[in-house]
C-alpha cells in the first residue's frame, strides 16, 4: 500500500506518478516507464506536452485567417454563384431579420475560436515563462476553454441553418468554400491543443519558481 500524498506538494516531488489507464499510483524511481499494475506506458507528465500544444495552436492561428477571409459557402441561385464569408453571412442574416441566428453565428464562428486560441496561448505562455499567477485561476480558465471547445463544432450546424434561411422557396444549391475547411481545421486543432496540454505543468511552473 502506498503512503498517502502530502497536500500542497506536487506528486512528482514526492516521487509519485499516476497511470492514466488504471489510475494506480506508483513510485517514479521504482517504476520509471511501465505501470506495475497494468503494464501500460507511464510517465509523470504527458511527453512533449508544450511542443504539441504550441504546434497545434500555431496551426489554428494560421488557419483562422483563411477561415475569416475566404468564402465559407457558395450559393448557386439562378445559375449565378454567390460567395459568402462569415461576415457577409452575418450581414445577410441581420438584413433578413434573423438577429438571433446572427448572434449564435457570431459567438460560435468569431468569438469562441478567437477566445480559445488566446486563452490557450496565454496559459501555455504562463507555463513556459513561469509567470507567477494563481494556479487555481489558471486551471479554471483551462477548464472553460475545454468546455467551450466541446461546443465549437456546433458552428458547422449553424452554417447549415444559415443555408436553410437563405433558401426561401427558390431552388438553391450550396457548396462549402475554402473557409469551411479552414474553420474545421481550427476547431480540430484547438480541441487537440487543449487535449495535449498537461494541466499539471501549471502546478510545476508555480512550484519550481518558489
* Residues near Zn ion (CB under 5 A): 19, 21-22, 24, 35, 37-38, 40
Q: How far is the CB of 31 from Zn ion (least distance, A)?
A: 10
Q: How far is the CB of 160 from Zn ion (least distance, A)?
A: 43
494563481: which residue's cell?
Answer: 134
Decide: residue 160, CB within 10 A, 0-12 exposed, 13-18 middle, 19+ buried. Answer: exposed
Residue among 39 and 150 whose Cβ is closer to Zn ion: 39
Residue among 36 and 65 whose Cβ is closer to Zn ion: 36
> What is the per-residue burial (b if ≥16 Cβ within 10 Å, else e) of 116-132?
bbebbbbbbebbeeeee
CA distances from 115 to 157, 161, 182, 193 (A): 20, 23, 17, 14
Q: How far is the CB of 34 from Zn ion (least distance, A)?
A: 9
Residue among 35 and 162 whose Cβ is closer to Zn ion: 35
Residue among 26 and 182 whose Cβ is closer to Zn ion: 26
Are 172 and 75 contacting, i.e. CB atoms less than 8 angstroms apart?
yes
Q: How far is the CB of 90 from Zn ion (least distance, A)?
A: 49
Q: How far is it, in rounded angstroms, from Cα 69 to Cα 97? A: 24
Residue among 28 and 188 whose Cβ is closer to Zn ion: 28
Q: How far is the CB of 43 from Zn ion (least distance, A)?
A: 12
Residue by residue, DSSP assigns 27-43 as ETTTSSSB-TTT--B--
Are 179 and 70 contacting, i.e. CB atoms less than 8 angstroms apart?
yes
Amino acid at each position: 500500500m502506498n503512503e498517502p500524498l502530502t497536500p500542497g506538494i506536487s506528486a512528482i516531488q514526492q516521487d509519485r506518478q499516476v497511470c492514466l489507464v488504471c489510475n494506480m499510483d506508483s513510485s517514479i524511481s521504482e517504476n520509471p516507464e511501465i505501470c506495475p499494475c497494468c503494464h501500460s506506458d507511464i510517465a509523470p507528465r504527458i511527453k512533449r506536452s508544450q511542443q504539441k500544444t504550441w504546434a497545434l495552436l500555431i496551426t489554428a492561428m494560421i488557419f483562422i485567417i483563411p477561415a475569416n477571409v475566404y468564402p465559407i459557402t457558395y450559393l448557386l441561385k439562378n445559375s449565378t454563384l454567390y460567395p459568402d464569408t462569415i461576415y457577409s453571412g452575418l450581414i445577410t442574416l441581420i438584413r433578413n431579420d434573423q438577429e438571433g441566428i446572427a448572434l449564435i453565428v457570431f459567438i460560435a464562428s468569431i468569438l469562441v475560436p478567437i477566445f480559445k486560441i488566446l486563452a490557450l496561448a496565454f496559459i501555455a505562455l504562463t507555463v513556459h515563462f513561469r509567470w507567477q499567477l494563481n494556479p487555481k485561476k489558471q486551471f479554471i480558465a483551462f477548464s472553460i476553454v475545454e468546455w467551450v471547445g466541446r461546443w465549437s463544432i456546433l458552428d458547422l450546424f449553424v452554417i447549415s441553418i444559415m443555408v436553410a434561411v437563405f433558401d426561401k422557396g427558390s431552388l438553391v444549391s450550396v457548396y462549402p468554400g475554402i473557409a469551411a475547411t479552414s474553420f474545421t481545421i481550427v476547431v480540430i486543432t484547438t480541441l487537440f491543443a487543449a487535449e495535449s496540454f498537461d494541466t499539471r505543468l501549471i502546478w510545476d511552473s508555480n512550484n519550481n519558481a518558489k
